[in-house]
Amino acid sequence: MLYSKATRPADDGSPGQQPGDRAPALSERAQILASAVSTTLLGIGRLGVAYSGGVDSATLLALAARTLGHGNVIGILGVSPGLPARERQLAHETARVIGVEVVEITTREGDNPAYVANGPDRPFHCKEALFSAIDEQCVGRLRLDAVAYGETADEAGDPDNPGAFAATNHRVLRPLADAGLSKPDVRELARWLGLPVADKPSEHGLASRIPQGVPVTPERLAQIERAENVVRALGFAPCQVRPHGEVARVQVPAGALARAVTEPARTALAEGIRAAGFSAVALDLDGIQPDARAPQQEPGEPGPALS
């Protein structure tokens, strides 16, 4: 069911932040692509956007609001143990900038044994749970004429894209991909729109940290989130903590590796992550990998120990 609280536009009736004199100029390509997105949306009365708060879905939400009117577009944020609290908060903050209402729904991918088993198809089951929940909880109640999500043209060309299969099952629209927007195109438009997530690195849910074949449980997801909060609080962002049994493999930007093994950060990382529930801490010397998903199997050596 729908949560009782929702992000709403400003009470003064303003449509949210709009590009102004200080907004970067759009390239001709970006102007054409933005117009193409608008064209794909014309004729829709009320649109629901599967909204994570990331740059793709936020840009789609903003473009849809400019095309259809802010009152005719609703962001739908799926909430589960796999969504970090910081991402949930940021999603609402970004929606306030856009000036579009956001509602939260509970997704129950954790009730699906195929998701819990954490095989190669786990991302599909995650998207399937989201789109099923939108169909069941939102389409009728919010009087939606269509649902869309932020797939880009880059993802559309990936034959293993899990979201595409689930989107097809539920007839979810892909305006960005259909218009031909790549990730760099999306970021350019997001900067022009003044979105705070324009340059935010792509992040997957907490379950993506768990090696394939290791069951996904709420307890393990909470442990990972606690550990990542420690790393972020020490100024390492982006970051990921990947569990390997009771060992936490910490990934930070390559340029921050030296600081991570230097006092006082080294001790603070080791003590904080042990307090999160791990017995040992290791640092990944490769650093954080852009858009990395869970490895297919446990690596033999997590990296040099911090504790």
The predicted-structure confidence for 174-221, as pLDDT tens digits, reads as follows 999 999 999 999 999 999 999 999 999 988 899 999 999 999 999 999
Supply the mean pLDDT for the chain: 90
Cα dihedral: 4, 198, 165, 118 (round 10): -80
- 300 pLDDT above the threshold of 70: no
d(Cα 192, Cα 269) in Å, to the nearest integer? 37
pLDDT of residue 177: 96
Half-sphere exposure of 148 (CA within 13 A, CB side): 32
d(Cα 44, Cα 245) in Å, to the nearest integer? 49
- 12 pLDDT above the threshold of 50: no
Stronger pLDDT, 164 or 142, i.e. the higher one: 142
Stronger pLDDT, 294 or 229, i.e. the higher one: 229
Q: How confident is the model at residue 274 (pLDDT cuts 50, 70, 90)?
A: very high
Strand order from edge to edge, sheet including 146-149: 2-7, 101-106, 73-79, 47-50, 146-149
Stronger pLDDT, 36 or 160, i.e. the higher one: 36
Biggest distance spanned by C-alpha atoms of the chain = 59
pLDDT of residue 295: 53
- 306 pLDDT above the threshold of 90: no
d(Cα 140, Cα 79) in Å, to the nearest integer? 19
pLDDT of residue 106: 97
Sign of CA dihedral 7, 9, 15, 16: negative
Q: 81 in helix, strand or coil? A: coil
d(Cα 283, Cα 301) in Å, to the nearest integer? 10
Stronger pLDDT, 20 or 227, i.e. the higher one: 227
pLDDT of residue 202: 87
- 87 pLDDT above the threshold of 90: yes
- 32 pLDDT above the threshold of 50: yes
| Ranges 25-39, 152-166, 254-268: which has the least confidence | 152-166
Q: 149 in helix, strand or coil? A: strand
Q: 173 in helix, strand or coil? A: strand
- The 10 Å CB-count burial string (b at 16+, else e) for 157-168 is eeeebbbbebbe
- 30 pLDDT above the threshold of 60: yes
